[in-house]
Amino acid sequence: MTQLKPFPEGFLWGGATAANQCEGAYDADGRGLANVDVVPIGEDREAIITGRKKMFDFEEGYFYPAKESIDMYHHFKEDIALFGEMGFKTYRLSIAWTRIFPKGDEEQPNEAGLKFYEDLFKECHKYGIEPLVTITHFDCPMHLIEKYGGWRNRKMLGFYENLCRVLFNRYKGLVKYWLTFNEINMILHAPFMGAGLCFEEGEDVEQVKYQAAHHELVASAIATKIAHEVDPENKVGCMLAAGQYYPHTCHPRDVWEGLQEDRENYFFIDVQARGCYPNYAKKKWEREGIELDIHEEDLELLKEHTVDFISFSYYSSRVASGDPAVKEKTAGNIFASIKNPYLDASEWGWQIDPLGFRITLNSIWDRYQKPLFVVENGLGAVDTPDENGYVADDYRIAYLREHIKTMNDAVNEDGVVLWGYTTWGCIDLVSAGTGEMKKRYGFIYVDRDNDGNGTLKRTKKKSFDWYKKVVATNGSDIE
Ligand code: BG6
């Protein structure tokens, strides 16, 4: 057995989910409608999440997986008990904005929604689990999209601020770790998710996206400010869909392209971690005729209220080429990149690169020198239960083992400061990219299929016991 050096004492092992992908109960106890509810499974999904096709309500002939999802809303006690059994030190989840403010622009929050999360956080603490809360994970109230155009509108700053104030005050003492926006860089690739952007014919899409990004960045700074005011113990992080770009060859043109592509993603974290807009972004906007409405006070907020830590998701590295003849793409976390001939891929075509994880961890650490938190990593795969309902998911264990090994190297050999690691979809849930249930990440199998059939029964997979051992040995026994 290979014995690894343990991770630092107090390392936060756990798992991650998002409200819209697991809670279901989309209209329970006063919850309002959100963008994430009206995104169906099937061929129109991509056009909708990229803002090219409008779908503002449920329509005939479509199946909307988030409506019921795995119904964690009614199963959370059972699910958290299983997380507790695995020894989780933390559980990353997100708040459904429309449970707290059903329309988004109300003065008073919905008590039933607040109570739901209060109970859930208390349940976590029963098992010594520290909640790690994403304030928005791709969700935005539909009312704010229809009435104000989502994050393109500056008014969103105020609505988000109200939400944050309510959350920080109500959950003081129950929640200490907060993330402001899930995968903030996704606004460039899936702008209806999260930012609630839809585009009119002929509109300058880049201008709208960067204006909305500016609003989110300022909102994130405001959230950080309030979190610290309400409770100096609060730690606020940003969240990036990460994955280092490699040049396709050592041709300088490819290296340059890789740098450009990385900057497109790091742009967000450069602002949230360093407190100002990088020169390369200002030059890009100048070149492309993008003119943003930025107020003097925005720049002060960005400067004064940078994040305490940097969190990110990592599923794969990416490849860039400056040669237009290199076209072969590979699927990936919402945005595709050039195919890497040296890597295998998952059933969904996501390339598997454990060493890329170490490279990504080091790159982010070198760039910012702020504590890191890996809040998503995992393998989406088809699981086939045997006649007793048991899933022997050795492929998932292998994926996680290889990634934990390189994460261990990053920490113990390279000196990267890392607070914790939460695997994505620790319990099976609805895929954000495709809307499928079939694409499973969990240690816990949930009996539900792509069409919404199934008993919702929870069953431990083989990886459940494996991860339990990893956590119990603080990452030193991963065999
Ligand atoms: C990240 C998201 O993009 O990747 C999650 O933050 C998502 O919400 C995860 O589920 C995996 O992607 P997918 O498309 O396999 O669900």
Could you tell me the residue ranges of all domains in the chain?
12-472
Q: Are 440 and 382 in contact (CB under 8 A)?
A: yes
156 contact partners, CB below 8 Å, separation of at least 6: 144, 148, 150, 215, 219
The protein residue with its alpha carbon nearest to ligand 1, atom 10, reads 432
Q: Does the model's pTM come out above 0.95?
A: yes
Q: Average pLDDT, stretch 284-293? A: 98
Q: What angle do CA 445, 446, 450 make, to 5 degrees?
A: 115
What is the C-alpha separation between 445 and 424, in angstroms, rounded?
14
Q: Mean pLDDT, the chain, as a whole number?
A: 97
Q: Look at residue 1 and tell me whether its pLDDT is greater than 70.
A: no
On the CB side of 290, how many CA atoms lie within 13 Å of its CA? 20
For residue 396, give the nearest of 277, 478, 297, 281 by alpha carbon.
Answer: 478
- Of residues 64, 26, 20, the one with CA closest to residue 42: 64
Task: Identify the residue whose C-alpha is closest to ligand 1 atom 5.
Answer: 432
Nearest CA to ligand 1 atom 8: 432
Domain 12-472 in CATH 3.50.50.60? The answer is no
Regarding the beta carbon of 409 and ligand 1, being less than 6 Å apart is answered no
Examine the residue annotation and report whether 376 is marked as an active-site residue of this protein.
yes
Task: Give CA–CA dist 42/48, Å, rounded.
Answer: 11
pLDDT tens digits, one per residue of 230-285:
999 999 999 999 999 999 999 999 999 999 999 999 999 999 999 999 999 999 99
Q: How far is residue 204 from each of residues 80, 131, 149, 183, 359, measured CA to CA in Å?
A: 45, 40, 15, 23, 35
**Separation of 380 CA from ligand 1 center, angstroms?**
9
pLDDT band with cut points at 50, 70 and 90 for residue 327: confident
Measure 290 CA to ligand 1 centroid, in angstroms: 30
Q: Is the pLDDT of residue 287 over 80?
A: yes
User: Average pLDDT for residues 102-112, to the nearest whole number?
Assistant: 98
pLDDT reading at 334 higher than 90: no
377 Cα to the center of ligand 1, angstroms: 9
